């Protein structure tokens, strides 16, 4: 019996995790696997119910379950809160407490969606990259941080800090991943300005000695942002720190057609895996059955692969999603210019379940 902790979170989180859970149940049944689902609170939902964005017993439950499926956190209701008590803090804390330093964000273009990208179809064709983002260090967690009033002037500071151990372990994840792909790693940095990036550069270069079969390339983050819209298909594995990875993974997602399609897996040394869509809580459409559940369904496929060692089941889920799209089914976010009929979140989940049943 495999246990999965579902943390729906805020906004569209409950809607999209509901559909992903139905898909997991269906695919487990086909493979004769028993899944036990637990549910917990995170983010604003947890602030409202328990006064904290993440309670200790939820972290404990995540450790026990070993696999976590998360929706999204945050929303306008909690926007005025200081960063330390906001919904987002719950997400950052669970990543940190579970030691999930490696965030894998694959961005591929489903052929049926090449027309949904804001880029021309011929530019989009062949996009198949993996953003490997460091997730438990860097400026998100560095000390000192905070605000101060200095002689009547408001001031705020954050610290970007990495040590070589942190860089080496995420670097290894990237090189290893490249071996199962096109054997190319792009390290993204700002070494013309930041000492932190110079350290990354050194450590990644040293690591490259262990991987003579993988080609390594260093790319400045600003020019990487530019190349992602000019020639996205050239990228294979991108490895970078927490902040650059956050920004570039949204860009990578959008060029594939919609932020509503990109899944992620966060892994570490403790054996726990956390799976969540790259998109946010989309409060503007929450509770209206308009959200695209596919990024969460594809995150569930990553859960099957990485936490449940069920690569075939994972492939079936991806195939089902692909078939649904090539049959022309779309949620609103996938319809560029607003033409055509949009399915709701539940209907999209239904289509994926039907495609699974038919395979």
Q: What is the spatial distance between Cα 73 and Cα 91, in angstroms, rounded to a whole number? A: 7
Q: Per rule CB under 6 A, is residue 246 in the interface with ligand IPM? A: yes
Of residues 91, 131, 286, 332, which one binds ligand IPM by CB under 6 A?
91
Q: Per rule CB under 6 A, is residue 333 in the interface with ligand IPM? A: no
Residue ranges in 59-78 that form contacts with ligand IPM under rule CB under 6 A: 73-74
Catalytic site includes residue 190: yes
Task: Decide if 187 contacts 200 (C-beta within 8 A).
Answer: yes
- In the numeric block, which tokens belong to residue 59? 């972290």
Q: How far is the CB of 308 from ligand IPM (least distance, A)?
A: 22
Of residues 246, 305, 316, 333, which one binds Mg ion by CB under 5 A?
246
Q: What is the spatial distance between Cα 203 and Cα 86, in angstroms, rounded to a whole number? A: 34
- In the numeric block, which tokens belong to residue 133? 């983002």
- In the numeric block, which tokens belong to residue 268? 């570490």
Range in contact with ligand IPM (rule: CB under 6 A) among 15-23, 87-95, 120-128, 188-196: 87-95
173-177 contacts at long range (C-beta below 8 A, 24 or more positions apart): 173/102, 173/104, 173/132, 173/239, 173/267, 174/132, 174/237, 174/238, 174/239, 175/207, 175/208, 175/210, 175/211, 175/214, 177/104, 177/130, 177/132, 177/237
Q: Per rule CB under 6 A, is residue 88 in the interface with ligand IPM? A: yes
- In the numeric block, which tokens belong to residue 210? 């262990």
Size of the site for Mg ion (CB under 5 A): 1
The residue annotated as part of the active site, out of 10, 236, 246, 333, is: 246
Catalytic site includes residue 246: yes
Q: Per rule CB under 6 A, is residue 131 in the interface with ligand IPM? A: no
Provide the CB-side half-sphere exposure for 30 (13 A, CA).
17
Residue ranges in 275-304 that form contacts with ligand IPM under rule CB under 6 A: 278
Catalytic site includes residue 327: no
Cβ closer to ligand IPM: 74 or 171? 74
Q: Quick one: what does residue 88 bind among Mg ion, ligand IPM, none, with the CB cut-off 5 to 8 Å set by partner type?
A: ligand IPM
Neighbouring-strand partners of residue 189: 220
Q: How far is the CB of 246 from Mg ion (least distance, A)?
A: 4
Chain residues that interact with ligand IPM, rule: CB under 6 A: 73-74, 88, 91-92, 246, 278
């Amino acid at each position: 019996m495999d246990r999965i902790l579902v943390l729906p979170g805020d906004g569209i989180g409950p809607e999209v995790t509901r559909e992903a859970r139905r898909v997991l149940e269906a695919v487990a049944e086909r493979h004769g696997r028993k899944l036990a689902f637990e549910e917990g609170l995170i983010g604003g939902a947890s602030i409202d119910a328990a006064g904290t964005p993440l309670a200790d017993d939820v972290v404990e439950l995540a450790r026990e379950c070993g696999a976590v499926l998360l929706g999204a956190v945050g929303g306008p209701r909690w926007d005025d809160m200081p960063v330390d008590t906001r919904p987002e803090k719950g997400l950052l804390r669970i990543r940190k407490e579970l030691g999930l330093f490696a965030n894998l964000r694959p961005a591929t273009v489903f052929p049926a969606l090449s027309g949904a990208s804001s880029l021309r179809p011929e530019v989009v064709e062949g996009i198949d990259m993996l953003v490997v983002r460091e997730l438990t260090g860097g400026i998100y967690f560095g000390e000192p941080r905070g605000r101060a009033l200095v002689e009547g002037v408001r001031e705020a500071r954050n610290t970007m800090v990495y040590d070589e151990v942190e860089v080496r372990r995420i670097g290894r994840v990237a090189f290893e991943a490249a071996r199962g792909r096109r054997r190319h790693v792009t390290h993204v940095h700002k070494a013309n300005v930041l000492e932190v990036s110079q350290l990354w550069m050194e450590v990644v270069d040293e690591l490259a000695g262990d991987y003579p079969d993988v080609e390594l390339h260093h790319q400045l983050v600003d020019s990487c942002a530019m190349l992602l819209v000019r020639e996205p298909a050239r990228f294979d594995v991108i490895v970078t720190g927490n902040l650059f990875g956050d920004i570039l993974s949204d860009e990578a997602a959008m060029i594939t057609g919609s932020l509503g399609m990109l899944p992620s897996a966060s892994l570490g040394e403790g054996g726990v895996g956390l799976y969540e869509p790259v998109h946010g809580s989309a409060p503007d459409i929450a509770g209206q059955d308009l959200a695209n559940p596919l990024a969460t369904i594809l995150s569930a496929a990553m859960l099957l692969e990485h936490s449940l060692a069920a690569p075939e089941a994972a492939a079936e889920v991806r195939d089902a999603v692909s078939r649904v799209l090539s049959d022309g089914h779309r949620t609103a976010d996938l319809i560029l210019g607003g033409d055509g009929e949009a399915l709701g979140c539940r209907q999209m989940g239904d289509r994926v379940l039907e495609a699974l049943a038919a395979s």
